[in-house]
Amino acid sequence: MKNLLYTTFGLAFFLLVTSCVDNNEFGTPETACNDDVQTNITFAELDSLAGEETIQIKEDLILEGYVISSDEAGNFYNVLYLQDVASNPKAGLQLKMELSNSHLFYPEGSKVKVKLQDLYVKQKEENLELGSAFSSFGNISIGRLPSQKVMEHVLLSCDDDEATPLVTSISALDTLSANTLVKIENLEFQDEALGQPFAETEEETERTLQDCEENQVMLINSGYADFHAELLPEGNGTITGILVKEGITPKLMIRTLDDIDFTNERCPEIITEFTSNEIFISELADPDNNAGARFVELYNAGDQPLDLNLWTLHRYTNDNTEVSSAIDLSGIVIGAQSTLVISPNAEEFEMVYGFPPDLAVSTNSPADSNGDDNLELVDPFGTVIDVFGVIGEDGSNTNHEFEDGRAFRNMDVMKGNPVFTFSEWTIFNDTGDAGTIKLPQTAPQDFTPTNRN
């Protein structure tokens, strides 16, 4: 009986609010489509009235907008999204209301006029919200407009003009107004998300979309949506959705699965990890007069710059066989036939050598060796490209000790070597053992950071 009554009421309500008539046969002007109600406030003007505090609108103001949301598939609930114009919108808002199946009364694309008097408005971050007042612990927030009040405030216009989504890109979403209809091309779901449903049952779920440049945006899906159990599509294509902004992060919400058109092949894989044996350690410094002036220098002997994404420089302290510290070189591009100087004390380095290092790191890092440690340069795929010293052997009194001195790569060496080869190096220290040169080095005059020897 309850369902029958609800269906009967819903049908009557639908007929009531969607009838386009010149004369108001129902006797209340709020229930028929009304083009004689004149708009007298714009979205921009309403936005200027709103603030962080919830306020009641007491003036007799009429706002015109276009419906861009739909609760037909259950991804939206008790909310109506309106934007200012049908195409190329500049503003949008959320109208909170207690009205199920609102798509029957206010179809997507409908032009409506909202009587703002006695409604409440608030600017919540970048979202403009309308509704009734809701009080919690003394704070007034925007609540849902009761269903019996919706007809009084939201009037259908006899004119319909299908809303056209604004074609944009992920990178431009920050510049657009929230609560507007957008369309983005060349999107696909992340590899990690494939095989998963749109949403977990009864849980709001976010899935990551990305374009072919790996710019990302989140798609919000309701766990109550009719399509929540459908698997995410594997292709690439376009998504039409409402731009929502929670905090400062733009996100998208679709109305039905028809908003997704993935018929293209997925984006080609972007390769960001590269290897080369033309990158190697070219100089190590442990000045006798200033431990703060230590550094490590790398050199690219190749003819092309190299992105060091996921490259690492390892230090094995003394005779350790496990990595003691590491430097992640991601984000650095080393130029062709150029050096990369790494310092554990950037301020002291600049004071001593007269210019800043290319990369500043912490003390006790691979750039802060006291001359008896071993170093290892590793590419993104875990391959050891170059080594100084013998892993597992303390450098003291060996042919790879540079304590109080310097180790530099001989000029005829043009490639890295995963096996320490003493003949490739000239090494100064304070002992002169095992063929090294007993001649402590003083900064800055005995060192050549940024110059290949």
CA dihedral 170, 172, 176, 178 (to 10 degrees): 20
Q: What is the CATH number of domain 166-264?
A: 2.40.50.200
Residue 245: C-alpha distances to residues 93, 100, 109, 184, 223 (Å): 11, 24, 22, 16, 20
* Range in 7-11, 214-218, 310-314, 317-321 the model is least confident about: 7-11
Residue 249's pLDDT is 85
Token readout for 48 is 């200027």
Chain segment 236-265, per-residue pLDDT in tens = 999 999 999 977 789 999 999 999 999 999
Neighbours of 158 (CB within 10 A): 13
Residue 247's pLDDT is 72
Contact present, 318 and 291 (Cβ < 8 Å):
no
The model carries a pTM of: 0.63
The Cα 140–Cα 122 span in angstroms is 10
54 pLDDT more than 50 = yes
Q: How confident is the prediction for the chain on average, in pLDDT?
A: 91
pLDDT band at 35 (very low <50, low <70, confident <90, very high): low
279-438 and 166-264 share a CATH fold: no
Residue 41: C-alpha distances to residues 38, 163, 299, 350 (Å): 9, 20, 65, 61
The Cα 75–Cα 346 span in angstroms is 54
Q: What is the CATH number of domain 279-438?
A: 2.60.40.1260
Cβ neighbors of 428 (< 8 A, separation 6 or more) are 402, 405, 406, 407, 436, 437, 438, 439, 440, 441, 446
24 pLDDT more than 70 = no
pLDDT band at 37 (very low <50, low <70, confident <90, very high): low
Looking at residue 381, the DSSP 8-state letter turns out to be T
- Domain extents in the chain: 13-160, 166-264, 279-438
Residue 34's pLDDT is 59
